[in-house]
A and B are shown apart, each in its own frame.
Chain A
Amino acid sequence: MTDEAEIPVTERLYRFVAAQLPADSRLELSPVQRMSVGLSRENWVFDAVWLDKGEAVEEQLILRRDPEGSVLSTERHVEVAVLRALEHTKIPAPRVRWFDERGTALVRPSVVMLRERGECEYFCLTSDARPLDVRVALAHEFVDTLAEIARVDWRGLGLGEVLADPGAHGAVAALDHWEGELRRVQREPLPEMEVVLAWLRNRAPDAQAAVLVHGDFKPGNALVLGDHLALVLDWETAHIGDPLEDLGWITNPVRQREHQIPDVWERAQIVERWSERTGYAVDPAELLWWNVLANFKLAVIGLTGVAEFIDLHMDRPYNAPLSLCRIMYDLMGV
């Protein structure tokens, strides 16, 4: 008799998908392959074919399952609620097909989504694969989409029921969250991080509004089809927060190779277009605060990897991301 714990993911997935369909669906799955991309979730791609009232249905799908160890601790039911709400907007977000919230069928919480067309290109803005004018137009699409996210009527979509509203205190809420994560994962005293934390704590700005924040917006979390942005991926850190949070994330100097085109599409142009599209003013000191917070968050994510590696839950080696502290000190002017 097979031990339930040893059932491979392929078989579990078949059972799970079959359970979502009528009994006579004659479900067939293509070989299920685990992708190496993604640090926070397991990604398994597969195709499914079944009969619906006698008609053949074929879908390309992706299973995103919580891994044993992850660099991010997030709640799947929140991500799914955000994705389902976004189906009623112009934001190009993944469509949820089925959801195993408690991991009853797939061991750990899992979401099956439709696999959309397009390529994940980390450096689509700087790579020479496209002419400059095409890359600039693509960069505009990225920022316009980010602005659109900040303009989502999250209250009208009912997201206030699953996401906490920090009101004007989005900065303090974000800092509290990432300090909490730091305390949860740090395995040794880190005075480097305490220097940054004290600086951030003493300068946390008030927000102009509370908006939907993606939390990890970048070309590496998007699909590009042809020369256009087709889909914004990885909504697991979406929350309600300060409008400048996502802008601080994409203008983080550490990430400029992903978000900027030298001499043509740099910080000033990004800020100007985003401000124009959202209607929110951008105070340089506040944006700097969010740039530092972006790196603090990156460092905490790296330290989460270290903790998971120490606990033997991580499939990749991790070391302390201390070099980010020097970058933060430079930004802070200390």
Chain B
Amino acid sequence: MRPTLAEQLRGLRHILDHVVAPEVQGDYAQQSLLGVSRTLEMLEQRAGAVGLFLEWDNRETHAIVESISAHGISLAQPVDPITPIMTGDLVALDGENERLRGILAAVIPAITDRAETHDLHAAVVAHLRERVARYPYASTGTLPSR
């Protein structure tokens, strides 16, 4: 399929940078446009990784909440999804990601600062650190960091 998603994003950025930007007046509008252009560049490079990222995170988060449940800690809802997720269905993958992360988020107070759940907590943190490292999107701020 041409133009690909990345090619379309690159083309849009080219138009903004070379056609629109030179005509834009005002510091505020220029900075806003720069932020848009940088974000399009980030998406061009990273959007293709979102599906694989969600599949990986759903698999790992599912395993973690199952292991928490296996320790007798009750979860807000069953771990298994009602319907199977088709590979490549980003909307369904995103929905499942939100569901699983909701289960994990709700159970965290119950595994924090307890000797008997120390390993579970460490496993959760290790996964979340890895998830942050693999997270496909990035901030594209145009101002000095806060």
- Point out residues on A near B: beta carbons under 8 Å: 33-37, 39, 122-123, 188-192, 194-195, 198-199, 201-202, 220, 254, 298, 301-302, 315-323, 325-326, 329, 334
* Contacts A189-B104, A325-B128, A334-B121; A194 near B109 (Cβ below 8 A): yes
Report the Cα distance A302→B138, complex, angstroms.
12
A36 to chain B minimum Cβ distance, whole angstroms, is 4
Given known A34-B28, A188-B98, A189-B101, contact A195–B128 (CB-CB < 8 A)? yes
B residues touching A (Cβ–Cβ < 8 Å)? Answer: 26-28, 30-32, 35-36, 38-39, 98, 101-102, 104-106, 108-109, 112-113, 121-122, 124-125, 128-129, 131-133, 135, 137-146
Q: Are B31 and A36 in contact (CB under 8 A)?
A: yes
A190 to B38, CA, bound (A): 26
User: 20 A-B Cβ contacts within 8 A?
Assistant: A33-B26, A36-B27, A36-B30, A36-B31, A189-B101, A190-B105, A192-B128, A195-B121, A199-B113, A220-B144, A254-B145, A298-B146, A316-B32, A316-B141, A321-B139, A323-B132, A325-B132, A326-B132, A329-B125, A329-B128
Distance (whole angstroms) from the CB of B49 to the closest CB of chain A = 14
Question: A36-B31, A189-B98, A319-B137 given as contacts; is B26 within 8 A of A326 (CB)?
Answer: no
Report yes or no: A191 in contact with B124, Cβ–Cβ below 8 A. Answer: yes
How many pairs, one residue from A and one from B, have CB atoms within 8 Å of each other in the complex?
A: 97
Complex CA gap A325/B126 in Å reads 12
| Contact across chains for A199 and B129 when beta carbons are under 8 A apart | no
Q: Which residue of the partner chain B has the closest CB to A321?
A: B139
User: With contacts A36-B30, A191-B101 known, is A322 near B135, CB below 8 A?
Assistant: yes
User: Is A189 a contact partner of B109 (Cβ separation < 8 A)?
Assistant: no
